[in-house]
Structure 1
Amino acid sequence: MSILDWLVLGGTLLFIVGYGTWRTRRAGQSLDGYLLGGRQASWWGIGLSIMATQASAITFLSTPGQAYDDGMRFIQFYFGLPVAMVLIAVFAVPIYHRLQVFTAYEYLEGRFDRRTRTFTALLFLVQRGLSNGLSLYAPALVLSAILGWNIQLTVWLIGGLMIAYTVAGGTRAVAVTQQGQVAVIFTGMVVAGYLLVHYLPAEVGFQDALLVAGHQGRLNLVDFHFDPNDRYNFWSGMTGGLFLALSYFGTDQSQVQRYLAGRDVRESRLGLLMNGLLKVPMQFGILLIGVLLFVFYQFNPPPLSFNRPVLERVAGSPEHAPALRQLEQQHATLFEARRQAAGQLVQALHQPNNAEAIAAAQTRLQATTAATAGLRQETQALLKRAVPTAEAKDTDYVFLTFVLRYLPQGLVGLLIAVVLSAAMGSAAAGLNALASTTVVDLYQPARPGQPERHYVGASRWAAVGWGLLGIGFATFAARLENLIQAVNILGSLFYGSILGIFMVAFFLPRVGGRAVLWSAVAAQVLVLVLFWRTDIGYLWFNIIGCGLVMLGSWVLSRGER
C-alpha cells in the first residue's frame, strides 16, 4: 500500500475508535452502564448496531467470493430474516424489557431453573467464542496478504487490539463506534461497485454486465427446487434460514444485548424492524459486487489462484514450479478464448432478434468457463500438494485481489478500512456479549452479593479471556472452507437447540425445567451426529434441533404428570 493508503486507513480507524472512546468516556461505572449502556439507545442506533454486529469482516471478504464462485443464490439464506424480525419484535422484546434482564438467559432461570439457564448459556458461549475466532481471522487475512506478515502473528496483533478496545469501552462504546463503522462500510462498498462497472470495457455497461452474468447462471436469485442436501434454495431460506435468524437475533446475546440497551420496547422493536428492512438489500449489494467481479474477470485476466501468497510460494518451488508454469500457459490461452466469447456475447446482445448468435456465443462462453473452472481445480490440487496447510479454496481472496491490483491510491486504504471496521464492530460486540453472559449467568450466581464494581471488573477480565480463546481458534481458521459458510455452519449446529429451549419457554407453559434440559441435551448430541454422518444442508439443522427440543420436552412433560 502507498503512504496515502496508510494515512486513509489509519486516519479512518483512529477517528472512529477515538470518537467512540471520547463519547463514552464516563460509561462503565455500573454493571448496567458497562453491559447495556444505561439502556438509553435510540431505535436507529440499535438498528445500526445490529447490522454492524452481524456484518463482520467475513461478510466483505467472503461473500463476494461466494457470489463469484456460485452466483447470487446465497441471498436465499436471508429470506426468512425479515419474518424473524417481526416475530422477535412481537414476542421476545416485551418479555425481555418487562423483566429488565441483562442477558437472554436470565429469563430461563425464572421460567425453568438454574440448570437450564446455565446449559443454554454454555451453548452460546461455545458457539460465539468459536465464531469470534473466525471474525478475528478475516482481518488478519487482509493484513497478512498485504504486508506478507505471518498469519498467526497477525491474528495475535489484531486480536490484542480488539481485546483492548472492547475491555475499555463496554456496550455503549461498541454501539457509538459501530455507527461510524457502518458509514465507512456503506461508502466503501458503493465505491467498489462503481469502480467495478467503470473498469469494464467501454462497450460493456452495467446492464450488459448483468446480462452476461445472467447467461452464465450467476443471477440465480431464487431456486424453488426442494432438496434437503442443497444448502441454498427458497425452502431452506424460508425455513432453516428463518429458524437460524430467530435463534441468532432472539437468543444470541451478541444481538439481544443490542436491543436490550434500548430506551423502551418501541425503540427496540423499531431497531429490529430497521434491520429486517435493510439487511436483505445490503446482502444483495455485496453479492452483486461478487457477480460484477465475475464479469470483470471475463474481460480482465484473473490470476490462476487468488491466494497470491501461496501461489508465489509454489512458483518458487523447484519441484512444483514447472507444473504451475504449464497451468499458467493453459490459463492464459483459455482467458483469451473466454474474453473473445464474452465480447461476442455482448455484441450479439446489442443486436435485436439475434437469438441464434446469442446462443452460439453463450455456448462458447460456457465451454471456456467450464474449462477454466477445471483448470482452477487442478491448480488448487497442485497448491494443496505443495502447501498442505493452504486454504482449501481461494474465494476468500477474490475481492481482496481486486482491491489490491486495480483500485487507485487512497481507495485501497478505504476498502481495507471497511474490512477492519466490520471486524472491529462484530468482534467487539461478540466479546462484550461473551463477557456479559459469563459474568451474569455463570459468575454472579456463584458469587452473589459483590459490589457492582467487582462485577464490572470481572466482565473486563472475561472479555480478555474470551478474546484469547478466540485468537487460539483463529489460528486454525485457515484450514476451513469459505469463511462465510463456516460461520453459518457453526451457528446452525448450536442455534436450533437454543431456539428450541426459548420456544418451549414462550409457548409451552406447562413444560418444566427437567424435561426441556434433557430434551436439549439429546437434541444437541443428535444434531452433531447428523452433521458428522450425513450430507444434510446445514440450514436444516436449525429446524431439526428446535423441533427435537420442543417435541422431546412435550413428550417428557406428559410422562412426568
Structure 2
Amino acid sequence: MEVIDWIVLTGTLLFIVAYGYWRTKGSKDVTDYVLGGKDAKWYTVGLSVMATQASAITFLSTPGQAFHDGMGFVQFYFGLPLAMVIICIVFIPIYHKLKVYTAYEFLENRFDLKTRSLAAILFLIQRGLAAGITIYAPSIILSAVLGWETKTLNIIIGILVIIYTVSGGTKAVSVTQKQQMFVIMTGMFTAFYLVMSYLPDDISFGKALKIAGANDKLNILDFSLNPKSRYTFWSGITGGLFLALAYFGTDQSQVQRYLTGKSVRESQLGLIFNGLFKVPMQFFILLVGVMVFVFYQYNHSPLNFNPAAVEAVEQSAYAEEYSTLEKQHLTLEKSKKMAQERYSAALDIKDYDLIMSAKKQIQEINKQEIQSRKEAKEIIQKVDEDLETNDKDYVFIHFILNNIPTGLMGLLLAVIFSAAMSSTASELNALGTITTIDLFRRNQKEEQTDKYFLNATKWFTLAWGIIAILFANFASLLDNLIQLVNIIGSIFYGNVLGIFLIAFFIKFIRGNAVFVSAIVTQIVIILVYYFAIHRYDAGDEKLGYLWLNFIGCALVIFLALLFEILNRTRNAIK
C-alpha cells in the first residue's frame, strides 16, 4: 500500500470513531444510552438496520461466494421482504406499546422470568460468537496487506469499535452507521466500475453476463426440493424467512435499531426500506463477484487465493508437487482464455452451433480447473491440517490488492473496515444492553439509581468487546465467513423465534411448557447440526443449514403444545 492509501484508510476510520464519540458522548440515562432518546427518523432506522446486517463478512465473503458458486446465494434473502412486513405488523406495535428496552422483556410479561432469561442467554451465546467473527473478518484482509498477526489486528479493530460504542451507546451506533453505509456503497460501486473497465475492449456488460452464464454463474433460481441443497428458492422463502423473522424480530442487535424510532410509523418505514433495498444490494454485491470471475477468465488467477496457505506449501516438502499443479493451471488458463475469446467471437456473429461448441469447451475446461483447485487444497491439507484450504474469503481481497489503483485501494479497504465496525458496534451495544437489562438489573434485589445502571451498561459493553476480541483470536474459518455467521444464527434463531410466536399467537401455553420445550429443542438442533451438517464436507451435508431455522421454530412450538396439553391433562386427572 502507498502513503495515499494509508491516508484514505486511516482518515476514514478515525473520522468515524471521532465523529461517533463527539456526537454522542454524555448520555443522560439508560433510556438515552440504550434507545438513543427514541428520536430516530425512518431513514436513520433503515440505514442502521441495513448497516448492522451488512458486516465486513458481507463484503469480504459474498463476492468470493459468487466467484466460486455463482448468484444462487441471493435466494438466501428471498424470505426477507415478507419477514419485514410481518415484523412491521406484529412485532413493532407490541414492542412500542410495552415500551420495552429489549425484546426479551416481553417474554417475562407473557411467560415468566426464567423464559426471558433463557432467551436472553441464547442470544448472548450466538451473538457473542458472531461479534468475534465480525472482528476477525477484516483482520484477514489487513493481515494479507501488512503481514501482521491477525491477533494484533483483532485488538486494534476491537478497540476502535469499543471507543465510540461504550461512550455513546445506541445513538453512537446509529449516527456512525449512516457514514459507514455511504463509504460502503461508494466503495462497492467503485469496485464494479473498475472490474468492468479492466475487461477486454470487446467485452461489454451484456457479453460479460453471457460469459458468466456460460460458466454457470448466473443460475439464480433453483426450484429443486432437495433438502441437501444449501440455497434453493424453497429454502430461501421458508428457512430464509424464519431466519429473517428471528434475526430482525428477536435479535436485540436489530430490535434495538428500530426501537430508537420516533414512532411506530418511523420504525415500520425503516424496516420496509430495508426490505425493499436489501435484496437488490446483495444481488449487486454478488454481481461484483461474478464480474471478478469474468475478469479472471482473461487474467491470471492463483490456484489458491489464500496467500498464507500457498506460502506454507512453497516452503514444504510438497513444493514441487504444488509447482507441477500450478504449471498445469497456467496451461488451463491459456486454453480457457482462447475458449472465452472463441465464445465471444461466436456471440458476435450469432452462430448457434459455434456458440454451443465454445460453451461446451469452456465448461469442460472449468471442470478441469475445479479439479486442479481441489487437488491444490488436498496438498495444502497434507502440509498442515490446520491451514485454511477454503479460499472464498480471499478472492475479492486478492483482486483489490493486485488490481486496484493507488488511493482507491485505501477506499475499498475502508469499506470492509467500516462494515466491520458498524456491525460489531451494533452487536456490542446489544450484548451490553441485554446483559444489563435482562440479567443484571432484573435480578437486583436492592433499588439502584438510573446512573448506576447506565454505568453498568457501559461496563458490560466494554466486557463484551474484550470477549469478542478474545474469541476473534481463536476463530477459524468454516467453509466461508458469511456462511459461518449464518450457520451460528440458524442453530439458535429458530428456537427463539418459536418462543416469540407462541407468545404472540398461542395464548393458552404457559411458561413452564415453553421453557422446557426451548431447552429440549436447542439440544436437538445442536445434535441435528452435528450429525447432519458439521460432520460432512461442503456440498455433502445431509441437510441444508437454513432448514435448521424452520425445524427449530416448528419443534419448539410442537413440544410446547404437547407439554402444555400433558400438564393440563395430568392436572385434570388429579
Query: Hey, what does 2:524 align to over in structure 1?
Result: 526
Query: Hey, what does 2:384 align to over in structure 1?
Result: 387
Query: Hey, what does 2:13 align to over in structure 1?
Result: 13
1:463 deviates by 1.4
Q: 2:545, 2:471 → 1: CA distance?
A: 21
Local SS of the residue matching 1:446: coil
1:478 deviates by 2.7
The equivalences for 1:54-203 within 5 A come to: 54-203=53-202
1:233 deviates by 0.2
- Superposed CA offset, 1:248-304 (max 9, x none): 000000000000111110000000000000000000000001111111100001012
Local SS of the residue matching 2:387: coil
Query: Partner amino acid for 2:333?
Result: F
Local SS of the residue matching 2:442: helix
Q: 2:99, 2:22 → 1: CA distance?
A: 28
Q: 1:530, 1:310 → 2: CA distance?
A: 32
Residue 540 of structure 1: which of 544, 547, 550 is its match?
A: 547
- Superposed CA offset, 1:9-39 (max 9, x none): 111122222222222234x220011111111
Q: 2:50, 2:77 → 1: CA distance?
A: 13
Is the alpha carbon distance of 1:14 and 1:304 closer, same or farther for their aligned partners in structure 2, counting shifts above 3 Å? Answer: same
**Larger CA deviation: 508-517 vs 418-427:** 508-517
Query: Hey, what does 2:265 align to over in structure 1?
Result: 266
Residue 418 of structure 1: which of 415, 418, 440 is its match?
A: 415
The equivalences for 1:99-498 within 5 A come to: 99-317=98-316, 319-352=317-350, 354-447=351-444, 448-498=446-496
- Superposed CA offset, 1:81-129 (max 9, x none): 0000000000000000011100000010010000000000000000000
Q: Could you tell me the TM-score, scaled by structure 1's length?
A: 0.98
CA contact (8 A) 2:119 2:496 kept: yes
Matched, 1:48 2:47: yes
Q: Unpaired runs of 5+ in structure 2?
A: 533-541, 569-574
1:156 deviates by 2.2
Q: Unpaired runs of 5+ in structure 1?
A: none
Query: Hey, what does 2:561 align to over in structure 1?
Result: 554
Matched, 1:24 2:31: no
What RMSD over aligned residues (CA atoms) do the two structures have, in Å?
A: 1.1
Query: Hey, what does 2:571 align to over in structure 1?
Result: none
Query: Partner amino acid for 1:554?
Result: L
CA contact (8 A) 1:61 1:138 kept: yes
Query: Hey, what does 1:499 align to over in structure 2?
Result: 497
CA contact (8 A) 1:389 1:479 kept: no
Q: 2:268, 2:82 → 1: CA distance?
A: 13
1:325 deviates by 1.5
Q: 2:289, 2:265 → 1: CA distance?
A: 37
Q: 1:394, 1:307 → 2: CA distance?
A: 5
Q: 1:476, 1:208 → 2: CA distance?
A: 44
Query: Hey, what does 1:35 align to over in structure 2?
Result: 34
Is the alpha carbon distance of 1:539 and 1:285 closer, same or farther for their aligned partners in structure 2, counting shifts above 3 Å? Answer: same
Q: 2:408, 2:222 → 1: CA distance?
A: 36
Q: 1:20, 1:278 → 2: CA distance?
A: 25
- Superposed CA offset, 1:496-550 (max 9, x none): 0000000000000111100111111111111111111122111111111111111
CA contact (8 A) 2:380 2:389 kept: no
Q: 1:548, 1:290 → 2: CA distance?
A: 37
**Larger CA deviation: 119-128 vs 165-174:** 165-174
Residue 514 of structure 1: which of 512, 515, 520 is its match?
A: 512
Runs of 4+ in structure 1 over 4 Å off: none
Aligned length: 558
CA contact (8 A) 1:391 1:481 kept: no
Query: Partner amino acid for 1:202?
Result: D
Q: Could you tell me the TM-score, scaled by structure 2's length?
A: 0.96
Q: 1:248, 1:25 → 2: CA distance?
A: 29
Q: 1:25, 1:435 → 2: CA distance?
A: 17
Q: 1:522, 1:164 → 2: CA distance?
A: 39
Aligned identity (percent) is: 51
